[in-house]
Structures are given as C-alpha cells and as structure tokens.
Amino acid sequence: MNSKFIAYTTVTAVGMAAFACAALARDQVQIAGSSTVLPYANIGAEQFGKSHASLKTPVIESGGSGAGIKRFCEGLGEGTIDIANASRKIKDSELAECQKNGVKEIIEVQFGYDGIVFAVDAKSGDWALEPKDLFLALAAEVPKDGALVANPYKTWKEVNDKLPEWPIVAYIPGEKHGTREVFEEKIMHAGAKATGADKLHLDKAEGADDAAKKKVADKAVLKVRKDGAAVDIDGDYTETLARLASNPQGLGVFGLSFYENNTDKLKVATLNGITPSVETIASGEYPVSRPLQFYVKKAHIGTIPGLKEYVEFFVSEKIIGPEGPLAEYGLVPSPDAERKALQDAVKAEKAM
Amino acid sequence: MAIDTTALGPSRHAENSASIVQKGIARRYAAERRFRLYGMFAILFGIAFLVFLFGSIVSNGYTAFVQTSFKLDVPLDSEVVDPAGTRAVSDLRNADYTLLARKSLASLLGADTSSRPQMREVGALLSRDVDVEIRNAVLADPSLIGKTLSLWVLASGRVDSLMKGQLDRELPAAVRKVSDQQLGWLDKAEAAGFLAKRFNTGLFTAGASSNPETAGIGVAMVGSLFMMLIVLILSVPLGVAAAIYLEEFATKNLLTDIIEVNINNLAAVPSIVFGLLGLAIFINFAGLPRSASLVGGLVLTLMTLPTIIIATRAALKAVPPSIREAAYGVGASKMQTIMHHVLPLAIPGILTGTIVGLAQALGETAPLLMIGMVAFVVEYPTTPLEPATALPVQIYMWATSAERGFVERTSGAALILVAVLICMNLIAVILRRKFERRW
C-alpha cells in the first residue's frame, strides 16, 4: 500500500514538474533544415561555442530544406526554431505561409556555394562529361533523327565515343533533395538545349498559349528514364557512395565537400573540360553549383539569447572567409564583395 | 495415422497392414531427419548472419577505441597566453593556443617555423580542437603559465585514418590529402615515440563534433540515461498498477475486453506513431522544449507501457491459484493476498518484462526524430529539460557524415550500444534465474 502511494506521488510530482518547467526560457539557438548545410552549420556552431563562453552552443537538427522551412514558418515564439538551413532558396508559397503565421521579417543569409560533382569509382579511368552526354544518357526521351524517341541508349559509349563501354547506371539525388533541382536546371536543361530536345518538346507541347506550352516543355525535358538506368537516391551521399562500392561501373552525384573527404574512393569527372574544385567553382568556370543559405527570424533577435551573436559570428571572415574552417571542409566561399555586403546586411538586420 | 487406416480400407488383412506400416517406417524416419536438417539449417543461417553482422561491426569499429595522438611539450609563453599579465579568464580563453601547439610540434619534427607553408602542413597534422585541450589545462591551473606543459594532443582525423591504415599510404599525395613531407614527419614522429595510438577516452566523454577525432557519445549517453530514468520512474508504477487492476480486480466485460485488445495492439504500433503523438501532445500542446530528454522519456514511456503491462499480467497469471486460495483460507483480504503473496511471486516476471521493455526503448530512434532529438548537441545537458541526443541517434548521425573517421566511430558506437543491451538482457536473465520459482 505504502509503496504504491509513494509511486503515485512520484508520478504526479514528475508530471507537475514537467508542466511547470514549460515556462522555462530557452537559452540556446535552435536550428533545423538541409542536410547539405548541416556540416557547415555544425562547424559554425561548434566554433561559436568555443569562442563564446557565456552563450550556449546552438542545437542543430537535420531533416531537409523543405522540412526545416516548414517548421520555420510555423510561427513565432520559443517553441519554434530560430533558423532554417536550406540548400535552395525559399519558395514564394513558403514565404506566404510564413507571412500567414506571423513570421513577417526574415533575414536571408547566403553564406557560400556548394559544387555538385559527378564521380565514379577511384579505380576507373578518366571521365570527361558534358551536360549533353548526361542528358542523352538519362533523359526519358531523347532526340533521334529529328524526332523524340524513348531513350534507346544502353551504354555510355553509345552516348559519347570517348566514354567507356559501361552500362548506363547513374545514382542521382531523389526529388526531395535540393540537389535535384540544381541537377535539373544545370544539367538536364543545358543538355536539352545542346541536343535540341527542348525545341522538339516545345513543338510537341500542348497549351493555351506560348507561355503555357513552354512550361509544359520545360517540365518534359526534366523527366529522367524509368528503366533502371537513372536511380533516385533519397538518402544522403553516404548511400550513393555505398551504391558505387557495390557497383563500380556506376556514376554518382555528390557534393564537392563530400568528394573532397573521400578522394581515395572516388574519381571526379570533368564537366565541359573543367575539373571541379573550390577555385573553379568560385570563378564560375565549373557550371554546376548552388548557393547555400539559412533564414533567420528577425523577431527572435533580442528574445533568444545569442541569436544575433551567432549569425554575426557565422558570417564573419574567420568562418566563411577563404581561409576559414568552412572553406577547409569544402565550401566555395562567396566573392569578397558579396561577403562584405552580407556582413553589413546582417549587422543592420536587413530583412528580405 | 487415423486417416491412413481408413484409407487402407477394412478389407485388408492384418499382416498386410503390418507390412505397410513396416514400409512406412523408413519413410517417416526420413521425414523426421529432413525436418531436423531444416531446423539445423535455419539455425545455422541465423548464426551465419549474426557472425557476419558482428564481424563487420567489430572489424570496422574496434579501431574507434584508440586514437592517434602527439605528445607535445607546449611552452606556455606568458607573452602569448597572458600578454596583459592579469590572469583574466577572458584573456586566457582567447589566447592562441593553436599557434603554441603548432610551434611545439614543428620544433619536434624539425620543420621550419618561419615558413608559412611548412607551418600550415604541420598545423594540418593536429586536430582543429587542439587549442581546447591546452586551454582547459591552463584554465584549470593558471599557475602553469610560463612553464612547459607536457601533454598528449589529438592528431587530425585524416592522420588518424592514415595511421590506422584506413587511408592507403600508397595513393598519390593529391588523392591521399596527406603530403609526402607530412608522411615523412609522421613516420619520424612514430619512430621517435611522440606519435602513438592511445585509448580513446574522448569517444565516451565528448559531445557531438564536426571533427571525427573529437566526436564522442558523451551527450548521447547522458540523454539516454535521463530517458531511461524517466521511463523507469513512470512506466513501472503505471504499468504494474494497470496490470494488477486488469488482472485481479476488473470484472470481465466488454469494456475490459476492449482495453485488453487495445493494449495488445499498442504493443505492436510502430514507434514513429508514438513520436507523432509526443510531438502533438508534449511539445505543441503542453509546450515542453524540443530536443529535451524529458519529452523523449515521456514518449518512450508511452511506448514501453504496453510491454510492461503485458509482461506483468502474464507474470500474475502464472502464480498458481493455490497460493491465492491458501491466502484467502487463512483470512487474508484480496488486497493482502495480492500485495503479500501474488505480487512478490510475480516480481521476477515483472522485472524481466521491464528490462526487456527498457532495452527496446534504449534502441529506439524513430520517435526521437519527431521530437527533435536527432540533433547536433555539443554541450552536456544538466537537466532533462536541456537538449540532448540518444545513443542510437548518434550512430545514425555519424553514419551519414562524410569524413572517414566517422565510419569507425559509427561501428564503435554500435558496439557500445550492443554491449549495453547485452548487459541489460543478461541482468534480466540472471534476475529471472535467481528469483524464479517453479511449481
């Protein structure tokens, strides 16, 4: 009887303590979003914690750009996150959702670029790719003799004489990834243009006017083949790496930083003759890169301790500069003027 | 057999059926042998997978328990550490300890301290967090300033991978990302004895880190411990009380039947559903902080309750009715019967169920994803209300990291988790053996 009484008292006490503490103020920055931005955010947060003894290190969750922005736009207050990491720009529909929920002022911090590279197993020969080759190998419909046909190519050699006679298997990022959008825009679109497929699709497209037709055609060129040659990877780059390990004749899509950390297992392909590196991407020679950014709730500055300090610290030269730890990990730093403008904008808390 | 005899028909003679039985015996023995073979094959198959699984985890993970380190004699020059001479903590915190460590290593390696490229190559051998180790030593004992501090500091993750043979030395320097000069230095350092692999205490004590060499499961362990305590405190009394009521007091009617079916169903509900529930109730409704081990503990409590209720009911059922009847016979009330006789006899079963339930909760990741515990947490939580992660979550996060050093850590942390789970199950078995009564 007695022991049961004690047990029940404990339960009630714990329950009450739990609810009483709900009023406790949050004293660390909370961040969620893109898994591509995550390693950079981790490094930034860690350095922040090291150099700011009185402030807590931010807590960072992963989960993808879309999920992060969704939670970011849930509203204001301590129960919501302060910063959303994104490997793509925030969409208009998401901005509208933010506005609707009271998140009116958002500071956009675009802190650098990430290159997207095509890589094969380290033991293979050199690969020189062009967007055209990738389009011909991976698109659902390709032009042949002036007409669109279902993709007939079986090996890379059929696509381009200089490529090896491997069966076409490419591990490309799945549709929920921000990387996929960049792949579509910079590779599939460019490839369609180079092969003339975009015109053929436009001729075939149905729509009320030219603009509607163009929209349909633009969507059609992005379709990848569904016969097993193009494999969507919904996990992260470690999964792509594992796929390449089990199929050494596959082609994988990686982030530059991931490749830089696994140079002993991967061999990178050149694109239009340019080898991807921090330098070639920063100069714009290498065509496939995308901006990395995070979004900050302006209303939380001042209420969440350390938020302003964290963002200012993150955009400082010693973090995102060319000599900083992010560049060391594989971030392509923004040009000097862009960084300066960003630092000023953050200081002034300039909202979008 | 009954079918066989009718199939033979009544007209057959007795000796005839005896000979048919005789003929059948060989066939039936063969069937039994085959069946036993199938069983043995199934077991062998399971064992083979287990061996493969453990083989791969152990072979990948055992190296995580040692870490390459340099033994440095760092002269704590008061000019660098405390130029103002005030011993102010803020000065001591912000001094450039990295430079001190680099210089010290450079002089050991015989590198040119005035050449920037050489110093950079030396610096790349050391962990990026090398300053923290020296700084903490200085902050703990400011009287060290001006003296020479002798300590082991961590080498960078890449050096560690190279020394452990995970990175092939024969690769070209550009691919290996360790220059030939650095390789020469490492060999020299190893021969001279100031480079060695030492037991990796950081793996057990450090929090999350973006550098593999300084990443550890400390925060995850504390988070898991908090959650297990909350689960234990909440689910055992609730579960046992519910089970006793349902088993001993509740009348059997439609309502209790529905409750029973629901409890059994709850035990089989995928854990992610409990995560969604926790997000909706504890975070969005009750306003508890995200990523906190309190919420994690509450969610896991919900998940563990059905397991404990079912185990407790089974244990209560297993107590023979003669015990209850004897208690009633000497005039005990129902309450006394249960508390004095039935419950003590059922405790081994309840304990086993509790430990199995806890072990299950310890290995759970999916519900924690929904409540924000899959996160990068550097600082130790001091209360269950502060952000924390859990052991399996840490394994998952390391598995998705790009650096080579995280591969061994993933397996190393998996080994630790498995060891903890084996210990828990072992305790369950021992307790059952010790207290179990047979009737």
**B395-416 burial by CB neighbour count: b if 16+ within 10 A, else e?**
bbbbbbbbbbbbbbbbbbbbbb
Chain B hits for A78, CB-CB cut-off 8 Å, are: 289
**Residue A104, SS3?**
coil
Token pair for residue A166? Answer: 């491997």
Low-confidence ranges of chain B (pLDDT < 70): 1-15, 439
- Quick check: B230 contacting A, CB < 8 Å? yes
Amino acid at B389: T
Q: pLDDT of B146-183, one tens digit each?
A: 888 888 999 998 899 989 988 888 888 777 888 888 88
User: Going by DSSP bridges, is the β-strand pair A230-233/A59-61 parallel, antiparallel, or unpaired?
Assistant: unpaired
- In chain B, where the domains are located: 2-62, 64-206, 218-435
Residue B182 C-alpha, separation from nearest chain A C-alpha, in angstroms: 17
To the nearest 10 degrees (0 to 180), the angle between helices A210-221 and A197-204 is: 130
Residues 85 through 144 of chain B touching chain A, CB cutoff 8 Å:
89-90, 93-94, 128-129, 131-132
Number of A to B CB contacts under 8 A, please give it. 121
**Which residue of B210, B333, B403 to mutate against A (max A Cβ within 10 Å)?**
B210
Say how far residue B391 (Cα) sits from the centre of its chain.
4
Does the domain formed by B218-435 have CATH 1.10.3720.10? yes
- Quick check: B168 contacting A, CB < 8 Å? yes
Chain A hits for B288, CB-CB cut-off 8 Å, are: 18, 21-22
**Residue B29, SS3?**
helix
Chain A hits for B230, CB-CB cut-off 8 Å, are: 14
Residue of A nearest to B377 (CA): A59
Query: What does the alpha-carbon distance between residue A94 and residue B423 come to, in Å, rounded to a whole number?
Result: 48
Residues with Cβ within 8 Å of residue A77, at least 6 apart in sequence = none
Give the DSSP letter string of B414-430.
Answer: HHHHHHHHHHHHHHHHH
Helix (H) or strand (E) holding B273: helix B271-278
Residue B97 C-alpha, separation from nearest chain A C-alpha, in angstroms: 13
Q: Residue B321's pLDDT is what?
A: 92
Residue B102 C-alpha, separation from nearest chain A C-alpha, in angstroms: 17
Closest alpha carbon to B291 in A307, A72, A28: A28
**Residue B226, SS3?**
helix
Token pair for residue A183? Answer: 């792949």
Say how far residue B241 (Cα) sits from the centre of its chain.
30
Token pair for residue A245? Answer: 């390990």
What are the backbone angles phi and psi of residue A143, rounded to the nearest 5°? -75, 135
Q: Residue A109's pLDDT is what?
A: 93
Tally of CA atoms within 13 A in the half-sphere of A303 that contains its CB: 14
**B360 exposed, middle or buried (CB, 10 Å; 0-12, 13-18, 19+)?**
middle
Residues with Cβ within 8 Å of residue B415, at least 6 apart in sequence = B57, B58, B61, B62, B64
User: Going by DSSP bridges, is the β-strand pair A270-271/A128-129 parallel, antiparallel, or unpaired?
Assistant: parallel
Closest alpha carbon to B420 in B272, B220, B207, B235: B220
**CA-based angle A31:A37:A39, to the nearest 5?**
90
β partners of residue B304? none
Query: What does the alpha-carbon distance between residue A117 and residue A5 come to, in Å, rounded to a whole number?
Result: 64
- Alpha-helical runs (H) found in B62-170: 78-81, 89-94, 97-109, 116-125, 130-140, 157-163
As a residue count, chain B comes to 439
The domain defined by A2-113+291-347 folds into D-Maltodextrin-Binding Protein; domain 2 (3.40.190)
**Residue B75, SS3?**
strand
- Alpha-helical runs (H) found in B319-342: 321-329, 334-336
Residue B377 C-alpha, separation from nearest chain A C-alpha, in angstroms: 5
Closest alpha carbon to B202 in B303, B135, B129, B278: B129
- Quick check: B402 contacting A, CB < 8 Å? yes
Strands (E), A102-161: 106-121, 128-129, 141-144, 147-150
**Residue B16, SS3?**
helix
Query: What does the alpha-carbon distance between residue B391 and residue A337 come to, in Å, rounded to a whole number?
Result: 44
Chain B hits for A62, CB-CB cut-off 8 Å, are: 374-376, 397, 400
Contact A240, A188 (CB under 8 A): no
Residue of B nearest to A81 (CA): B290
Contact: B210, A43; criterion CB under 8 Å: yes
- Which sign, positive or negative, has the C-alpha torsion B75, B202, B182, B400? negative
As a residue count, chain A comes to 352
Q: Residue A8's pLDDT is what?
A: 60
Residues 32 through 71 of chain B touching chain A, CB cutoff 8 Å:
none
Chain B hits for A325, CB-CB cut-off 8 Å, are: 128
Token pair for residue B152? Answer: 């082991």
Q: Residue A15's pLDDT is what?
A: 56
Contact: A7, B241; criterion CB under 8 Å: yes
Residues with Cβ within 8 Å of residue B77, at least 6 apart in sequence = B100, B146
pTM above 0.90, yes or no: no
Architecture of domain A125-247: 3-Layer(aba) Sandwich (3.40)
Contact: A46, B209; criterion CB under 8 Å: yes
What residue has token string 């078995």?
A: B429
Query: What does the alpha-carbon distance between residue B259 and residue B249 come to, in Å, rounded to a whole number?
Result: 14
Q: pLDDT of B42-78, one tens digit each?
A: 999 999 999 999 999 999 899 999 999 999 998 888 8
ipTM over 0.90: no
Token pair for residue B296? Answer: 């994690």
Q: Residue B89's pLDDT is what?
A: 79
β partners of residue B70? B153, B195
- Quick check: B399 contacting A, CB < 8 Å? yes
Query: Residue A224's CB: how many other CB atoms inside 10 A?
Result: 22
Q: Residue B1's pLDDT is what?
A: 44
DSSP B200: -
What residue has token string 């050093």?
A: B405
Chain B hits for A26, CB-CB cut-off 8 Å, are: 289
Chain A hits for B212, CB-CB cut-off 8 Å, are: none
Low-confidence ranges of chain A (pLDDT < 50): 1, 19-23
What are the backbone angles phi and psi of residue B146, rounded to the nearest 5°? 95, -20
- Quick check: B403 contacting A, CB < 8 Å? yes
